[in-house]
Amino acid sequence: MRGWIIPIGGKLCTPAILERFIDLSGGSAARIAVIPTASSEPDMGTYYEREFQRHGVRTVKALNFERRTDCDDADWLEWLGTATGVFLTGGNQLKLSSILGGTPVAKLLRVRHAEGMHIAGTSAGAAYLSEHMIASGSEGATPRVGMVNLCAGLGLTNRIIVDQHFRQRDRLGRLLTALAYNPFCVGFGVDEDTAAFIGPDETAEILGTGAVTIVDPSQVQYCAVAEAAPGETIDFVGVQVHVLGTGSTFNLHSRVVTPAAHAVPLTYR
């Protein structure tokens, strides 16, 4: 059974998010690998080592893959291969894709996740988790041709596209544009201090102080992205949008939303 996928929207303040990730990964016996590759801050790995230790994790290690050659380090690969949880920090998601993409690290992350290891990412780390990654784009609520740039992510799932800092940075338009290019996916617009815990059964449960905006294009009747000129508004008819707070769930198979008042908490062990 594959591990959980946990995109976090950035500015992580709610202790319950890290605590649930730790609980999934084995509690105090968890082995957490922190990958700070996206960050330009030299002490980001150390910061998260201390954060996890403060939450009771005895075994945590920052693996500072700063260059593609670092991704061949046998000791780090061995440590990553025994981790029960991996945490990708924020920063620039293009650093993640360009440094880790196609390396033994990215391959091992996919293999270990398929075997049951849980992988969380915050901000840039959240964007990188899926196969289709938003690399950059413009702010604004209206989808327009050319508003978003996409590239390949880690590839843990091809069912979602994640955008982070969602409400805080007015990113509805670029997520809609990304989905206009590929209506197969479901958009997860994750607010800061908020996470979507996506289980092996493809049910996502929301946790945090904000919301996750779910953009579901499965019932789209018309999309004008192929006809519109660069910069023009994209007519996108039939898109469903759900705004979900803590405790609400969304199933990626059935596309069924269960509001928090009616949801049964998901089992994490």
Residue with tokens 């039939």: 238
pLDDT for res 117: 98
Residue 39, Cβ density class (10 Å: 0-12 exposed, 13-18 middle, ≥19 buried): buried
Domain range enclosing 223: 5-262
pLDDT for res 264: 66
Q: Is 269 a domain residue?
A: no
The DSSP bridge pattern shows strands 249-251 and 257-258 to be antiparallel
Q: Is 109 a domain residue?
A: yes
Residue 266 has pLDDT above 70, yes or no: no
Q: What is the pLDDT of residues 212-235, one digit of tens each?
A: 999 999 999 999 999 999 999 999
Known active-site residue 202: no
- Per cent of the chain over pLDDT 70 is 97
Q: What is the pLDDT of residues 131-168, one digit of tens each?
A: 999 999 999 999 999 999 999 999 999 999 999 999 99
d(CA 38, CA 47): 14
Mean pLDDT across the stretch 237-241?
A: 97
Q: Is 267 a domain residue?
A: no
pLDDT class for 182, splitting at 50, 70, 90?
confident
Residue with tokens 């929207």: 9
Q: Is 196 a domain residue?
A: yes
pLDDT for res 87: 98
Q: Is 74 a domain residue?
A: yes
pLDDT class for 263, splitting at 50, 70, 90?
low
In this prediction the pTM is 0.95
Q: Is 268 a domain residue?
A: no
d(CA 182, CA 262): 31
- Per cent of the chain over pLDDT 90 is 96
Residue 120 has pLDDT above 80, yes or no: yes
Provide the number of structural domains found in the chain.
1
3 state SS for the chain? CCCCEEEECCCCCCHHHHHHHHHHCCHHHCEEEEECCCCCCCCHHHHHHHHHHHCCCCEEEECCCCCHHHHHCHHHHHHHHCCCEEEECCCCHHHHHHHHCCCHHHHHHHHHHHCCCEEEEECHHHHHCCCEEEEEECCCCCCECCCEEEEECCCCCCCEEEECCCCCCCCHHHHHHHHHHCCCCEEEEECCCEEEEECCCCEEEEEECCCEEEEECCCCCEECCCCCCCCCECCEECCEEEEECCCCEEECCCCCEECHHHCCCCCCC
Q: Which of 55, 192, 205, 248 is catalytic?
A: 192
Q: Is 152 a domain residue?
A: yes
Known active-site residue 192: yes
CATH number, residue 164: 3.40.50.880
Known active-site residue 136: no
pLDDT for res 145: 96
Residue 265 has pLDDT above 70, yes or no: no
Mean pLDDT across the stretch 93-103?
A: 98
Q: What is the pLDDT of residues 20-62, one digit of tens each?
A: 999 999 999 999 999 999 999 999 999 999 999 999 999 999 9
pLDDT class for 267, splitting at 50, 70, 90?
low
Q: Which of 25, 39, 97, 123 is catalytic?
A: 123
